[in-house]
């Protein structure tokens, strides 16, 4: 694995030239005073430029206390400014969101050259999947994992959430219910013959065994599932989180799997759903969050199934209360979200704020590691200089780019 390095982009070089030019120009301001002695006119001093406003430090939005059974939406949307050398993947890791989430929230923005100074949306608000709030719940369409620790009566329910990467179209991550049957630190990867054959065919041969260490695609921690050959694990390539790049396993950022490894006990139930459209209640308003439907899975018939999906949200105490208040669905907004999903929770009642209002009201925060984050921020880039150059076209790409994802253990 290449060691991540800071990338000096062409844009940075242009910036250095501009600064140098400005410095030369500024020298011309300091000329000798005009001749004439005491009576000479003195130009008034130019006012000092106003200092740039200090943006608030963001706060980690990866765990929440639920207020009640109808508390379906957690977190809040944020905005931040692209810094030098930043890609959208760097911003995503910093704020603990995945690649697909950050690109979906920022359509039209180049993920590898977003532009220094550009304000981007950080999608750190989530509608909980429609599933029992027990154990591990994974929404494949959202590429996000939720963990609901055992709930004690009389105490509030807590949920932890992180982004994940999932299986490619030809290696789908399964849906259904299973359990965690084991866990391992510093795992050794026994490469399945099917995966070795696939890589050999592509000119990228793999060894039969990959020892534990920084170059192990399983990362440093893993959970074994009741489904043979499927794992929840870390990765040696963090920029693959939020992508469909594995052979079916679900992988997390190294700092997130480390947290879960010490938190989730063996025997925990795991529920995997595929819900591209999720509905919930937030401050008494019906909210929808839309994602791109995943290829290779059953495609929803939106026209036939939309009312059924909404009915489940309406047949709740919050739904019945809203109906009594005269709730009317804005179907135009709903259809627009289906056709152009942004991965942002938006109210869908008539005469309620839309996605533009959600973004406009989102706080602008500093482009820095959030307070309370699992990540120490030591690695400034999620990819190496070589990979960055290959992705942006700065350097000559290799004949075969290495797959950016973790792969599963033997049996898969």
Active-site residues: which are they? 233, 249
CA atoms of 232 and 143, how far apart (whole Å): 13
Residue 168: half-sphere exposure toward Cβ, Cα within 13 Å: 12
- The residues, any chain, with a CB within 8 Å of residue 410's CB and separated by 6 or more, are 190, 191, 192, 229
Q: Which of 270, 11, 49, 18 is nearest to 148 (CA)?
A: 270
How many other C-beta atoms lie within 10 A of the C-beta of residue 356? 9
Q: CA angle, 105 as apex, 163 and 116 as ends, to 5°?
A: 100
Q: Which residue, 116, 127, 62, 126, is CA-closest to 91?
A: 116
Bridge-based pairing of strands 135-139 and 269-273 is: parallel
Please give the radius of gyration of the chain, using alpha carbons only, rounded to the nearest integer: 25
For β-strands 277-282 and 285-290, DSSP reports them as: antiparallel
Cα–Cα distances in Å, from 219 out to 161, 185, 193?
19, 9, 20
Closest CA to 344 of 361, 328, 327, 332: 361
**Cα–Cα dist 51/387, whole Å:** 37
d(CA 128, CA 405): 26
Cβ pair 116, 11 in contact under 8 A: yes
**Residue 339, phi then psi, degrees to nearest 5:** -80, -30
The stretches of 238-384 forming alpha helices (DSSP H) are 254-261, 302-314, 317-324, 331-339, 355-361
Tokens found for residue 286: 């019906």
């Amino acid at each position: 694995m290449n060691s991540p390095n800071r990338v000096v982009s062409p844009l940075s070089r242009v910036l250095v030239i501009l600064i140098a030019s400005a410095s030369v120009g500024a020298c011309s301001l300091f000329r000798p005073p005009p001749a004439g002695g005491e009576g000479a006119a003195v130009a008034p001093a130019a006012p000092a430029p106003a200092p740039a406003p200090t943006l608030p430090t963001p706060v980690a939005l990866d765990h929440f206390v639920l207020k009640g059974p109808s508390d379906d939406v957690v977190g809040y949307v944020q905005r931040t400014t692209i810094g030098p050398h930043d890609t959208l993947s760097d911003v995503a890791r910093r704020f603990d969101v995945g690649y697909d989430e950050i690109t979906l929230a920022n359509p039209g923005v180049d993920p590898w050259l977003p532009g220094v100074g550009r304000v981007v949306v950080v999608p750190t608000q989530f509608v909980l999947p429609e599933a029992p709030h027990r154990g591990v719940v994974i929404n494949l369409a959202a590429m996000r994992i939720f963990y609901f620790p055992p709930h004690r009566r009389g105490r509030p329910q807590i949920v932890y959430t992180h982004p994940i990467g999932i299986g490619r179209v030809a290696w789908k991550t399964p849906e259904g219910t299973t359990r965690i049957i084991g866990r391992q630190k510093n795992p050794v990867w026994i490469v399945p013959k099917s995966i070795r054959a696939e890589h050999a065919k592509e000119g990228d041969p793999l060894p039969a065994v990959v020892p534990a260490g920084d170059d192990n695609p399983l990362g440093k921690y893993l959970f074994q599932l009741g489904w043979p050959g499927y794992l929840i694990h870390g990765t040696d390539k963090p920029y693959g989180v939020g992508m469909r790049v594995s052979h079916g396993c679900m992988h997390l950022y190294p700092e997130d799997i480390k947290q879960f490894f010490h938190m989730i006990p063996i025997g925990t139930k795991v529920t995997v759903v595929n819900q591209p459209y999720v509905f919930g209640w937030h401050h008494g308003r019906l909210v929808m969050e839309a994602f791109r439907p995943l290829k290779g899975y059953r495609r929803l018939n939106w026209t036939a199934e939309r009312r059924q999906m909404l009915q489940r949200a309406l047949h709740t105490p919050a739904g019945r209360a809203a109906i009594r208040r005269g709730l009317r669905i804005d179907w135009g907004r709903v259809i627009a979200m289906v056709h152009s999903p942004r991965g942002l929770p938006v109210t869908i009642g008539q005469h309620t704020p839309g996605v533009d209002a959600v973004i406009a009201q989102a706080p602008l925060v500093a482009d820095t590691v959030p307070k309370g984050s699992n990540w120490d921020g030591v690695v400034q880039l999620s990819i190496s200089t070589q990979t960055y150059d290959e992705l942006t076209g700065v350097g000559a790409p290799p004949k075969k780019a290495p797959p950016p994802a973790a792969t599963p253990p033997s049996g898969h």
